[in-house]
Amino acid sequence: MAGDEGVEMAPDRRAATIKDVAAAAGVGVATVSRVLSGTGSVSPATRERVQAAARELDYRPSALGRGLKLRRTGSLGLVLPDVTDPFCAEFTAGVLDCARTLGEHVIVDVSHDDPAREAEIVERFAGQRVDGIIAVPSGDAAGWRAASAVGLPVVFAGRVLDDLPAVPAVLCDDRAGVRAAVDYLVGLGHRRPAFLGGPAPGTAVEVRERAFRDTVAELGAVLDEDLVVRARSGRDSAYAAAAGLFQRRPDVTAVLAAGHVPGEAAVLVAREFDLRVPADVSIVMVDDVPWAELCDPPLTVVSRPARELGYRACEVLRRRPATVGRTPPVVLPAELVVRGSCSPPTGMPGAPPRSSRAR
Amino acid sequence: MAGDEGVEMAPDRRAATIKDVAAAAGVGVATVSRVLSGTGSVSPATRERVQAAARELDYRPSALGRGLKLRRTGSLGLVLPDVTDPFCAEFTAGVLDCARTLGEHVIVDVSHDDPAREAEIVERFAGQRVDGIIAVPSGDAAGWRAASAVGLPVVFAGRVLDDLPAVPAVLCDDRAGVRAAVDYLVGLGHRRPAFLGGPAPGTAVEVRERAFRDTVAELGAVLDEDLVVRARSGRDSAYAAAAGLFQRRPDVTAVLAAGHVPGEAAVLVAREFDLRVPADVSIVMVDDVPWAELCDPPLTVVSRPARELGYRACEVLRRRPATVGRTPPVVLPAELVVRGSCSPPTGMPGAPPRSSRAR
DNA sequence: GGTAGGTTTGGAAACGATTCCAATCGCGAT
DNA sequence: ATCGCGATTGGAATCGTTTCCAAACCTACC
């Protein structure tokens, strides 16, 4: 047995409690608590003895006992449509960053955009007595009633639920982002831009579609209903929608993809149809993802500050107790990142030959 | 105030406790507990009354009280180098999937590959009394001592720590994956394959480098020390390493990138140097990521079953209590996914013209 | 009608922390 | 010598569960 010491050293012995430390130091539990939490006054000699005992016993206060008494757990819940989605992952990183500075843990769970599942998660979080919930919501308002029962602070991110206007939110100015993209496309000379909607964790798709329609109208370009298509959810659906669009209307010169899933579909389908980007068709995608820069040509995108969104959501959650009544949502800007996937339509002056590309 | 009901409905009223339910139903707390947990025998009439009272009061058992008594929290900790990394994200999804079936929550935190930070996280998890920890470890063994103090089950994934051989692990057969890739490259006729090492969450980089060296030697190809380069960490370092390689040795015909970060660097640098893939240089990358398929040409990769790795890690954690002594690691296969980024070197028979590509 | 045996039931003791409150201890001032 | 006051200290209550254990109750059988 000697020499076989690893992480499994002592799987049986129970962890030391505050009582053990008190006994070892020859003081009362109250004193130990005072020393370890730094509150109240303790004589230097006693403090030293307690600290030594705690170190000796490898004492680690139980968050359970502490949480029970203090009525707060020091943990918060994060509800996401999908951890695997780059936007959500980046968002999570932001939440984690901020939570760390606050000394909170983060319990993560995924809803897969299913309201029932989201409700179940909220229910579980409530049972766990998390100090608050941050969510990229998918669901109907009903699922969030559970949060109110325990008076749980909630912050929504990316999207809001229309039936719950009172919930504080951290949003991205998607409207402005889409507007900039359409503006750019129309400015290049595309009179009939197409819109490829689809699953987009982190925003209501309708917002983008509406922004698209409004901007196209405003700029005096033509809004061709045949050119705005929507995919349900999933890669395949987006691919099918894109394929349908390109097949039905071989004359499209520019498409705005409402998320990275439809964006990916657009790139793939364009290649499938042997359309050159941007010579034959220009593509702009909402959401910056690592591969956008690796594409050939690199994709022009509308970038959302996902990480910052997460950080801010967490900050709002902390400050929430102070604010009464409804807080105006925090809105962060989206940015148009011009790379190489757009050019004037064929036949227009300035259309570049195939080889030219940004970067 | 009327009509202003949202999630913030009752921020003040304290959540109902088991005592409230007992009082409302006119029974003792023990009976309520029995009804709600389904254990013991209760008369149908009583059961009904208790359930009604619980529903009425919107009672939700506190995980704190329950955890304290039961000495288990129903939550497990997940330590990752980086949530943002596609491998880690996919791995997390697998853990979440499995945890859900087990009814456990997952507390996530990121180490950024910093042993000190990792140790701190483990320390915090131990304080939280998680039921177990799953980790893609970065650190030295010292950080994991804390886990032993509370007899915390730990499962390592992707990598193992040499000093802690007793910790159960779920691994991917990286060696075989790299071997397959080198085999493929050499089979195509590349006599001097290059190796581009770099940060690769989820594996020890040395494993891949060693596997590369061994395989090259075995196959009778030539191992040119000048062609194996390593990057520290971060995109920039990988980019610099790749640029250095291509600049120093314009004669490279094939490179194996040891992860998606060096892989990205290789693609970018190749484009920068106006090298055509695969005509001028063939590229294989370890780790499949969404953009690999979107590249032009689509990248040939060694794919690791990240999601399954996560699922299995979680399973192993649950089963751990049963097993005594050291468990042999679970090893999952890596798979070579041939796409369009490799071809015989120029001048070899069968080298395809520029336009040909897979899919 | 009494009792054995089973089913329901509720009180109370943990679980591990924090914190109020009263008690003890010095010690200088009256 | 006694009082008062501030600094230390520890006991005990509390947080919300689960579960042991004993009491109460019911039924059926002798």
Reported as a single tens digit per residue, the pLDDT across B153-185 is 999 999 888 888 888 999 999 999 999 999 999
Cβ–Cβ < 8 Å for B251, B241 = no
| Contact between A61 and B109 using a beta-carbon 8 Å cutoff | no
* C1’ D25 / CA B216, Å: 83
pLDDT for the residue B128:
96
End-to-end CA distance of chain A: 62
Indicate the Cα dihedral angle A265, A267, A268, A274, nearest 10°: 140
Q: Is the per-residue pLDDT at B357 higher than 70?
A: no
Q: Closest-CA residue in chain B for A142?
A: B7
Report H helices in chain B. Answer: 18-25, 29-37, 44-57, 63-70, 86-102, 115-128, 145-149, 174-188, 205-218, 235-248, 260-272, 306-319
A96 in contact with B, Cβ within 8 Å = yes
Average pLDDT of chain B is 88
CA B321 to C1' D16, in angstroms, rounded, equals: 28
**B10 pLDDT higher than 70:** no
Say if residue A286's pLDDT is above 80.
Answer: yes
> Distance from A18 to chain B by nearest Cα, in Å?
13
| Span(s) in chain B for CATH 1.10.260.40 | 18-61
Through-space separation of residue A70 CA and nucleotide C18 C1' in angstroms: 7
Residue B193 scores a pLDDT above 50: yes
Interatomic CA–C1' length for residue B20 and nucleotide C9, angstroms? 18
Candidates 3.20.20.70, 3.40.50.2300, 3.40.720.10, 3.90.320.10; correct CATH number of B73-171+307-331? Answer: 3.40.50.2300
In whole angstroms, what is the distance from residue A174 CA to residue A160 CA? 13
CB A197 within 8 A of CB A262: yes
Window 22-51 of chain A: CB closer than 7 A to strand D? 26-31, 34, 40-43, 45-46
- In chain A, list all ranges with CATH 3.40.50.2300: 73-172+307-331, 174-305
Burial class of residue A26 in the structure, from the number of CB atoms within 10 Å of its CB (0-12 exposed, 13-18 middle, 19+ buried): exposed
In degrees, to the nearest 5, what angle opens at C-alpha A11 toward C-alphas A5 and A15? 115
Place of tokens 């105006």: A328
What was the pLDDT predicted at A14? 81
**Is A110 near chain B, with CB under 8 Å?**
yes
CB contact under 8 A, A151 and B13: yes
Closest residue, chain B, to A167 (C-alpha):
B7
Helix (H) or strand (E) holding A357: none
The predicted structure's pLDDT at residue B7: 46
Residue A165 pLDDT: 84
Chain A closest-CA separation from residue B120 CA (Å): 11
Residue B304 main-chain phi, psi, to 5 deg: -105, 140
Helix (H, G, I), strand (E, B) or coil at A84: coil
Is the per-residue pLDDT at B322 higher than 70?
Answer: no
Q: Provide the token pair at B245.
A: 């390689």
User: How far, in Å, is the CA of A23 from the C1' of nucleotide D17?
Assistant: 26
Domain with CATH 3.40.50.2300 in chain B: 73-171+307-331, 174-304
Type of residue numbered A175? R
List the A214 CA – C9 C1' distance (angstroms). Answer: 68
- pLDDT recorded at residue A138: 87
Is B106 in Cβ contact with A149 (below 8 Å)?
no
Task: Give the B window 33-62 contacts with A, CB below 8 Å.
Answer: 58, 60-62
Flag whether pLDDT at A348 surpasses 90. no
Quick: pLDDT tens for A248-276. 999 999 999 999 999 999 999 999 899 99
Tokens (6 digits) for A359? 């970067």
Greater pLDDT, B7 or B118: B118
| Interface contact B114, partner A, CB < 8 A | no
| Per-residue pLDDT, B39 | 87
Q: Which CATH superfamily is domain A174-305 in?
A: Response regulator (3.40.50.2300)
Lowest mean pLDDT among A231-235, A317-321, A345-349, B275-279: A345-349
pLDDT (average), residues B264-273: 92
Asked if the C-beta of A131 comes within 8 angstroms of chain B's C-beta atoms, the answer is: no
Residues in chain B with CB shorter than 8 Å from the CB of A63 are 127-129
pLDDT at B277 over 50: yes
**Domain A73-172+307-331, CATH:** 3.40.50.2300
Average pLDDT in the A138-144 region? Answer: 85
Q: Indicate the residue of B58, B62, B83 with minimum beta-carbon distance to A92.
A: B83
Please count the residue pairs, one from chain A and one from chain B, whose beta carbons lie less than 8 angstroms apart.
186
Question: pLDDT tens, A1-26?
Answer: 333 334 444 445 688 999 999 999 99
User: Over the stretch B296-309, which tens digit does the pLDDT of each residue have?
Assistant: 889 999 999 999 99
Model pLDDT, residue B348 = 53
Q: Do B105 and A107 touch (CB under 8 A)?
A: yes
The CATH H-level superfamily of B18-61 is lambda repressor-like DNA-binding domains (1.10.260.40)
Which nt is closest to the CA of B19, judged by C1'? D16
Q: For residue B249, which amino acid is it?
A: R
Q: Which 263-322 residues of chain A touch chain B by CB within 8 A?
A: 264, 267-268, 271, 289-291, 293-296
Is A75 touching B (CB cutoff 8 A)?
Answer: yes
Q: How far is the CA of B303 from the C1' of D21 (A)?
A: 59
Of the candidates B108, B123, B290, the beta carbon closest to that of A106 is on B108
Query: How far apart (Å, rounded) are the C-alpha atoms in residues B134 and B76?
Result: 8
**Nucleic strand C near CB of residue B39 (< 7 Å):** no
The confidence score (pLDDT) of residue A160 equals: 87
CB contacts of B64 in chain A (<8 Å) are 64, 67-68, 73, 129
Is there a contact between B151 and A296 if contact means CB atoms under 8 Å apart?
no
Q: What is the pLDDT of residue A347?
A: 60
Question: B11 pLDDT band (50/70/90 cuts)?
Answer: very low
Classify strands B194-197 and B169-172 as parallel, antiparallel or unpaired. Answer: unpaired
Contact between chains at A107 and B107 (C-beta distance less than 8 A): yes
- What is the tens place of the pLDDT at every residue in B95-118? 999 999 999 999 999 999 899 999
CATH superfamily of this structure's domain B174-304: Response regulator (3.40.50.2300)
SS3 B6: coil
3-state secondary structure of A31: helix
Chain A contact for B109 (CB, 8 A cutoff)? yes
Q: What is the mean pLDDT of residues A339-343?
A: 94
Mean pLDDT along residues A203-216: 87
Q: Return all residues near B70 (Cβ < 8 A) that are at least 6 apart.
A: none
Output the CA angle A50-A56-A61, nearest 5 degrees: 65
* Contact residues on chain B for A128, CB-CB shorter than 8 A: 63, 75, 105
In which band, very low, low, confident or very high, does the pLDDT at B346 lie, cut at 50, 70 and 90? confident
Strand C nucleotides in reach of protein CB atoms, 7 A cut-off: 7-12, 14-21
Whether B69 sits with its Cβ under 7 A from any strand C atom: the answer reads yes
**In the predicted structure, residue B238 carries a pLDDT above the cut 60:** yes
Round to the nearest angstrom and report the end-to-end CA distance of chain B: 62
> Cβ separation of B126 and A60 shorter than 8 Å?
yes
The distance (Å) linking the CA of B40 with the C1' of D25 is 17
Q: Inspect the interface and report whether the beta carbons of A289 and B291 lie closer than 8 Å.
A: yes
pLDDT number for residue B149: 65
In the predicted model, what is the mean pLDDT of residues B261-283?
Answer: 93
